Amino acid sequence: MTETVNEVLSLSVQAMSLKIKSKEDFNFAGEIAISLARIKKQINLNWKPMADAAKASLQGIKDNWAKELAPLEEAEGKISHLRREYKLEQDRIERLKQERLELEAREKAEKERQRLLDKAAEMEKLNPKKAEMLFEKAEAVIEKPVFVQKAVEKTTKMESGGSITWIKDIEVTVIDAKAVCSAIADGLIPVSCVEFKNLKAVAKMNGWRGDIYGLRITATQRESKRAN
């Protein structure tokens, strides 16, 4: 192990200080690259069995973990679904009640306002000052705020301990990818919302070159080293 570490350090120092100004330098750099690849291959061979064993052990732990959680999560999901459906229905009923009470409050206020206006109109000739007071009183009439008793509170303390809180959220589903792309192009949706994947494979498959479809494809080369 110590010998390998020393060799890695020696090669690393040579590689980091290397400058290629001639064919000899180029070939020497290749030799260093092969040596690095050879040591890298050996290190990977040394560590891979342990990594594979650890990965298999971890996967076994994850599988058993998931297996033990599965019935709990299924039951939890069923209860959450039932409670959510009930909560949504109660919210719908509460909205209807709220709208009805608000309408009744408006109608009551409008009725009172009209009563004062009619009375003010009757008094306008007999007692202008009182009529003016009635007009002002009519203008000041507003509907009283009304509130429906909630069937399900936002947070409920459970008798067995703990609490459950309802959190308002939204779900977003792409139903028209082209429309989404158009909105991104127009700046209505941030580009950061998009994950660009497999572009290299698609560009290779279609033989794209240069600037195309908003992409810049640049030819490049990389070494493929085979360490014996």
Question: Which pLDDT tens digit goes with each residue over 23-69?
Answer: 998 998 888 888 888 888 888 998 999 999 999 999 999 999 999 99
pLDDT value of position 124: 81
Annotate 185-197 with b (16+ C-beta within 10 A) or e (fewer). Answer: eeeeeeeeeeeee
- Return the residue matching tokens 């400058």: 19
Question: Which pLDDT tens digit goes with each residue over 100-118?
Answer: 999 999 999 999 989 988 8
Strand partners, 212: 215
Q: What residues contact residue 14 under an 8 Å CB cut-off, 6+ apart?
A: 32
Rounded Cα gap, residues 25 and 8, in angstroms: 20
pLDDT value of position 154: 87
C-alpha 96: how far from chain center:
32
pLDDT value of position 208: 93
Q: What angle do CA 108, 110, 112 make, to 5 degrees?
A: 70
The domain segmentation of the chain, as residue ranges, is 2-169, 170-220
Q: Say how many C-beta atoms besides its own lie within 10 A of residue 47's C-beta.
A: 11
- As to burial, measured by CB atoms within 10 angstroms (0-12 exposed, 13-18 middle, 19+ buried), residue 217 is middle
pLDDT value of position 6: 79
pLDDT value of position 69: 96
Rounded Cα gap, residues 166 and 43, in angstroms: 53
pLDDT value of position 128: 83
pLDDT value of position 4: 74
Q: What are the CB-based long-range contacts (under 8 Å, 24+) for 9-13?
A: 11/35, 11/36, 11/39
pLDDT value of position 1: 60
Residue in 85, 87, 92, 77 with CA at minimum distance from that of residue 153: 87
Q: What is the pTM of this model?
A: 0.61
pLDDT value of position 110: 92
For the chain, list residues with pLDDT below 70: 1-2
